[in-house]
């Protein structure tokens, strides 16, 4: 089992510029937008 520091070092090396355009995440974002279009976002409780 790798130590936490070696895990962090590996992550730092591997960290990509992001997966914004990856089809998986594009699909997820679209589904979330559809959800809030239908139902909105939760409202804070009134005080």
Partner 1 sequence: MHLERYAYGIDPQSLEYEFYSEGPRGKIKKIIRFQRISDDPPGYNLAFGDIDPETGIIDDFQITNNHDREKILNTVVNTVGDFLEQYPEAMIIAQGSTPSRTRLYQMKITALYDLLCEKYYLYGLTGEHWELFARNKPYDAIGIERKEYNFYYIHLQNNPHGI
**Residues at the contact surface with partner 1, assessed by CB under 8 A:** 1-2, 4, 7-8, 10-12, 14-20, 22, 24-25, 28-29, 31-33, 35-36, 38-45, 47
Three-class HEC string of 1-47: CCCHHHHHHHHHHHCCCCCCCCHHHHHHHHHHHHHHHHHCCCCCCCC
Q: How far apart are CA 38 and CA 33, in angstroms?
A: 9
State in angstroms the smallest separation of the CB of 11 from partner 1. Answer: 3
CB of 42: closest distance to partner 1 in angstroms? 4
Cβ of residue 13: shortest distance to partner 1, in angstroms?
Answer: 9
């Amino acid at each position: 089992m790798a130590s936490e520091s070696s895990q962090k070092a590996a992550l730092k090396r591997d960290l990509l510029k992001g997966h914004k355009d990856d089809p998986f995440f594009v699909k997820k974002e679209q589904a979330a937008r559809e959800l809030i279009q239908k139902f909105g976002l939760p409202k804070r409780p009134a005080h």
